């Protein structure tokens, strides 16, 4: 099967999703704004290219999903009731997009020991992720979004400085981040957004930046008194 998509399935009852138990392999699995409660071991689905579950407030498990080592997209976002363990990302070595948001149950980044290269990396609301050493082997080629994390530095961040694309970098609601020390020495970016980082008091780390093509936004930074 090439593609399975359930979107805005809020009126479907649980039995409506039983058809997924017949799926063994699919190129794409996309479930959004759905009442689906589980993709546990009763589902044995291998996704070979794109996996996305988003805004599924009832979803508690994705244990029944397995992945190719090379993916185009892995997106688990705004699913506030997913519970662990999530260990099915362990074999992924490459994904164009990797987006993951935690919740009250998933407070740490799931193991991704083999992931080496992404174009777009977004990590959001992972309370126990206090440093970036866990992602130091992941080279980000185009876009990085970090939001609602408790990191206090960017040590471990790995950007592909040979990328042909202008970087889009977003740092949002990082209450412990004081400066940009540890960021690779990028000279050019397309967009830089820094919002609501209450402890940020210095732009140290961005001194190599010579050009921003589109937007640089610094907002809601009460501790930043001097941008020189």
Which residues is 145 bridged to in the sheet?
A: 122, 170
Q: pLDDT value at position 78?
A: 92
Q: pLDDT value at position 1?
A: 58
CB 50 within 8 A of CB 30: yes
Give the separation between CA 94 and CA 43, rounded to whole angstroms. Answer: 24
Q: pLDDT value at position 96?
A: 97
Give the number of other CB atoms < 10 A from CB of residue 128: 11
| Nearest of 107, 60, 108 to residue 83 by alpha carbon | 60
| Nearest of 191, 151, 195 to residue 171 by alpha carbon | 195
In the block, which residue shows the tokens 């001194």? 207
For the chain, the structural domain boundaries read 1-115, 144-228
Q: pLDDT value at position 59?
A: 92
Give the separation between CA 39 and CA 18, rounded to whole angstroms. Answer: 10
Q: pLDDT value at position 196?
A: 98
Task: Return the SS3 of 208.
Answer: coil
Element (H, E) at 193: strand 188-195
Q: pLDDT value at position 159?
A: 94
| Nearest of 194, 78, 89 to residue 125 by alpha carbon | 78
pLDDT < 50 stretches in the chain: none
pTM of the model: 0.92
Q: pLDDT value at position 228?
A: 60
Which residues is 211 bridged to in the sheet?
A: 188
Q: pLDDT value at position 67?
A: 97
Structure tokens given for 173: 């609601």
Query: How would you class 92 by CB atoms within 10 Å of its CB: exposed for 0-12, middle for 13-18, buried for 19 or more?
Result: buried
Q: pLDDT value at position 4?
A: 84
């Amino acid at each position: 099967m090439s593609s399975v998509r359930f979107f805005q399935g809020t009126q479907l009852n649980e039995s409506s999703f039983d058809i997924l138990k017949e799926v063994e392999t699919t190129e794409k699995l996309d479930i959004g704004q759905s009442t689906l409660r589980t993709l546990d071991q009763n589902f044995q689905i291998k996704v070979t290219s794109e996996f996305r579950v988003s805004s599924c407030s009832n979803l508690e498990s994705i244990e029944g999903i397995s992945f190719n080592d090379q993916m185009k997209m892995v997106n688990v976002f705004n699913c506030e009731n997913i519970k662990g363990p999530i260990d099915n990302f362990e074999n992924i070595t490459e994904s164009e997009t990797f987006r993951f948001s935690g919740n009250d149950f998933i407070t740490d980044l799931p193991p991704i020991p083999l992931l080496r290269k992404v174009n777009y990396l977004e990590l959001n609301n992972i309370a126990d992720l206090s440093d970036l050493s866990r992602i130091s082997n992941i080279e980000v080629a185009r876009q990085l979004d970090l939001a609602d994390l408790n990191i206090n530095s960017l040590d471990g961040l790995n950007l592909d400085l040979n990328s042909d694309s202008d970087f889009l970098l977003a740092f949002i609601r990082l209450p412990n981040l004081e400066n940009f020390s540890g960021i690779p020495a990028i000279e050019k970016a397309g967009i830089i957004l820094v919002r609501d980082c209450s402890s940020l008091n210095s732009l140290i780390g961005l001194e190599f930046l010579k050009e921003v093509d589109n937007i640089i936004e610094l907002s809601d930074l009460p501790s930043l008194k001097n941008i020189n």
